[in-house]
Amino acid sequence: MEEFTYGMIHGVIESKRLITIKSRKKINFYYMSKSMFKQFMQYFEPGIFIFMTVKIQTRYYRGFVVQNVVSIDKLLSPNKNRPTIYYDISIIKSGIKNLINQKRYRLFLDFEMSMPPYNNYQSFVSEIIQAGYILTDESGKIVEEFSSYIKPKLIPEISLRTKKFLHIVQSDVDGGKNYDDLHKKIVELQSKYNPIVYVWGKNDQLELNKLNRIHRLNNFTKTMQFIDLLSLHKMYYGLKNDLGLFNAYSAYAEKTDLDKQKHDALEDALVTKEIFYAFKDVCNNKRLIEFN
């Protein structure tokens, strides 16, 4: 079980990732994970007010009785009527809500990439070998869908690892479109609709940047607005670790018996779309979802 607590930081034990708060002549110790402590350590000093959610149950840690910190909600330095706010999750959530609610076309994009062979992979360079996207208008209505294999240029023969992981054969990619065709379609979408591009993680945008350089094509990613929906989830929910696409979908769909992810680009783009609109409901207080 958890509880909300706050107070002025009394001391910091950096080597043990502990902060202390003095309450009625008693010193309380609070322990943080490595990632959390690293994220906020620049603000941890005596005199700073901290608001946080902690585990009610105490435990022994390196000679101290501590409570585990679940999340930090606010950090501020008192200054009469004008405190300096260093961090406030409510402000962050408000900013995410405004971003999510923009009246824009949205492009949900996903790629599958080639994978290195089991041996002699030192010179391997990954390439997009399948692309899928779904374009929606301001109301969420699907305007256009796209799905195709993409022929790799640098290493035309895909590895056995790639074939096994994606359940494909060489003839699938051999019969696919050229990357130039995919580039042209995305540029056309940008020109016609100027959509916000939603992806799950940063890899898809990085792969586009890389292939635009390899193929010596105009790098449209510099002028398109890419939003990493995974990063938004980590900020909004205070998650320490990355969240898998289908784990997120499972939570929103409230199902525990989902089929395993098929690693199909269009299917993953569709799942990203479904997650976005469920997350939008959460941001607008229409749904309540918690991630452990």
Q: What is the per-residue pLDDT across 134-184, written as a single tens digit (0 to 9) for each?
A: 999 999 999 999 999 999 999 999 999 999 999 999 999 999 999 999 999
pLDDT at 262 over 90: no
Find all residues with CB under 8 Å of 156, minimum gap 6, and list them.
Answer: 174
pLDDT-derived band at 260 (thresholds 50, 70, 90) equals low
pLDDT score of 193: 97
Model pTM score: 0.85
Task: Kindly list the structural domains of the chain, giving each domain's residue range(s) and its CATH number in brackets, ordered by start.
Answer: 2-91 (2.40.50), 101-283 (3.30.420.10)
pLDDT score of 81: 79
pLDDT score of 157: 94
Q: Which residue has the higher pLDDT, 257 or 26?
A: 26
pLDDT at 208 over 80: yes
pLDDT at 270 over 90: yes
pLDDT at 41 over 80: yes
Mean predicted confidence (pLDDT) in 270-291: 93
Query: Which of 150, 146, 272 lies closest to 208 in space, CA to CA?
Result: 150
Tokens representing residue 176 in the block: 């696919």
Find all residues with CB under 8 Å of 235, minimum gap 6, and list them.
Answer: 92, 96
